[in-house]
Amino acid sequence: MAKQARQYCWVSMPPKPVKLGASEKTTLQEKITRTIEATAQLKEKVYRLAIRGGRVYLYTLFEPRHTEGAVFTVPLIDGKYIEYPLGRLTLYDHKGEKCSADWQRHNGQWMTLHKGSLLDCISFMEQEGSNWFCSG
């Protein structure tokens, strides 16, 4: 019986998000907040930001239509709103030149919709990504 040669293939791993210090997180949060305040749609949609693990999570509030007698797995804010992730910005460098705009699918997995600079990804979320990020 002849011995078969092993087959090797190269797998490309996606880049890891950059690690940010406390001062970098503060500066980044101020920059993103100013940029979002200058937009029309995102300003109305984004409720709060959270920076964790080199990623900026954008949260929005949703008011359920029928709350009487409904049981929610997430506690309601002020008895009226549910908070859920609107989108995510993943940073791959400290300067904000390499970034991706991500959207969370119904199964909890994140899907990258756009790659570019930080400001480019935010403008994508505002304009072309309006069907993903600003609908409903």
pTM of the model: 0.78
In single-letter form, the type of residue at position 131 comes to: N
Which of 72, 56, 71 is closest to 122 using CA atoms? 56
pLDDT at 106 over 80: yes
Q: Give the pLDDT of residue 69.
A: 63
Residues 6+ apart with CB under 8 A from 16: 54, 92
Residues 6+ apart with CB under 8 A from 28: 20, 51, 56, 91, 96
User: Mean pLDDT, to the nearest integer, of 65-94?
Assistant: 76
The tokens describing 18, both together, are 């950059």
Q: Give the pLDDT of residue 27.
A: 93
